[in-house]
Structure 1
Amino acid sequence: MGETARVSAVVWTAAGSLLAWLWLLLGQGFFWRTDVRLPRRREPDVWPPVCVVVPARDEAAVLPDALPSLLGQEYPGRAEVFLVDDGSTDGTGELARELARRHGGLPLTVASPGEPPAGWTGKLWAVRHGIALARARDPEYLLLTDADIAHRPDSLRELVAAAGSGGFDVVSQMARLRVESAWERLVVPAFVYFFAQLYPFRRIGGRGSRTAAAAGGCVLLRADAAARARIPDAIRHAVIDDVALARAVKGAGGRVWLGLADRVDSVRPYPRLHDLWRMVSRSAYAQLRHNPLVLAGTVAGLVLVYLVPPVTLAAGVAAGGAAAAVAGGLAWLIMAGTYVPMLRYYRQPWWLAPLLPFTACLYLLMTVDSAVQHHRGRGAAWKGRTYARPEAVPDEG
Structure 2
Amino acid sequence: MSAVVWIAAASLAAWLWLLVGQGFFWRTGHRLPLRREPKRWPSVAVVVPARDEAEVLPTSLPSLLTQDYPGHAEVFLVDDGSSDGTGELARALAERHGGLPLTVTSPGEPPAGWTGKLWAVRHGMSLARAREPEFLLLTDADIAHRPDSLRELVAAATSGGYDLVSLMARLRVVSLWERLVVPAFVYFFAQLYPFRWIARKGGRTAAAAGGCVLLRADAAERARVPDVIRHAVIDDVALARAVKRAGGHIWLGLADRVDSVRPYPRLADLWRMVARSAYAQLRHNPALLVGTVAGLAVVYLAPPVALFAGLVTSRAGAVVCGGLAWLVMTVTYLPMLRYYRQPRWLALTLPATAFLYLLMTVDSAVQHYRGRGAAWKGRTYARPDTTAPEESRP
TM-score by length of 2: 0.98
For residue 206 of structure 1, report the CA deviation from its aligned partner.
1.4
Taking the TM superposition and a 5 Å limit, the aligned residue runs for 1:139-178 are 139-178=133-172
Aligned residue identity for 1:366 = M
1:115-160 superposed Cα distances (whole Å, 9 cap, x missing partner): 0000000000000000000000000000000000000000000000
Give the counterpart of 1:362 among 356, 367, 392.
356
- In 2: Cα distance, 1:200 partner to 1:393 partner: 33
For residue 388 of structure 1, report the CA deviation from its aligned partner.
1.1
In the other structure, the counterpart of 1:41 is 35
Q: Secondary structure at the match of 1:328?
A: helix
- Aligned-residue CA RMSD (Å): 0.9
Contact 1:113 1:129 in 2 (8 A): yes
Q: Secondary structure at the match of 1:358?
A: helix
1:212 aligned onto 2:206: yes
1:286 aligned onto 2:280: yes
Give the counterpart of 2:344 among 331, 339, 350.
350
Contact 1:314 1:325 in 2 (8 A): yes
In the other structure, the counterpart of 1:94 is 88
In the other structure, the counterpart of 1:236 is 230
For residue 393 of structure 1, report the CA deviation from its aligned partner.
4.4
1:300 aligned onto 2:291: no
Aligned residue identity for 2:330 = A
- In 2: Cα distance, 1:285 partner to 1:10 partner: 29
For residue 327 of structure 1, report the CA deviation from its aligned partner.
0.3
Structure 2 gap segments, 5+ residues each: 389-394
In the other structure, the counterpart of 2:46 is 52
Aligned residue identity for 1:73 = Q
Give the counterpart of 1:250 among 229, 232, 244.
244
In the other structure, the counterpart of 1:66 is 60
Aligned residue identity for 2:245 = G
Q: Secondary structure at the match of 2:60?
A: helix
Q: Identity over the aligned pairs, expressed in percent? A: 81
Aligned residue identity for 1:29 = G
1:179 aligned onto 2:160: no
1:11 aligned onto 2:5: yes
Contact 1:177 1:267 in 2 (8 A): yes
Contact 1:237 1:393 in 2 (8 A): no
Give the counterpart of 2:216 among 222, 236, 240.
222
- In 2: Cα distance, 1:364 partner to 1:70 partner: 37
For residue 208 of structure 1, report the CA deviation from its aligned partner.
2.1
- In 2: Cα distance, 1:387 partner to 1:256 partner: 28
In the other structure, the counterpart of 2:194 is 200
Moved >4 Å (runs of 4+): none
TM-score by length of 1: 0.97
- In 2: Cα distance, 1:358 partner to 1:381 partner: 26
In the other structure, the counterpart of 2:392 is none
**Alignment coverage as a number of residue pairs:** 389
Give the counterpart of 2:109 among 109, 112, 115.
115
Structure 1 gap segments, 5+ residues each: 1-6
Q: Secondary structure at the match of 2:2?
A: helix
1:84-104 superposed Cα distances (whole Å, 9 cap, x missing partner): 000000000000000000000
Q: Secondary structure at the match of 1:144?
A: strand
Distance change (3 Å), C-alpha of 1:37 and 1:57 = same
In the other structure, the counterpart of 1:76 is 70
In the other structure, the counterpart of 1:382 is 376
For residue 222 of structure 1, report the CA deviation from its aligned partner.
0.3
Q: Secondary structure at the match of 2:16?
A: helix
Contact 1:73 1:106 in 2 (8 A): yes
For residue 391 of structure 1, report the CA deviation from its aligned partner.
1.2
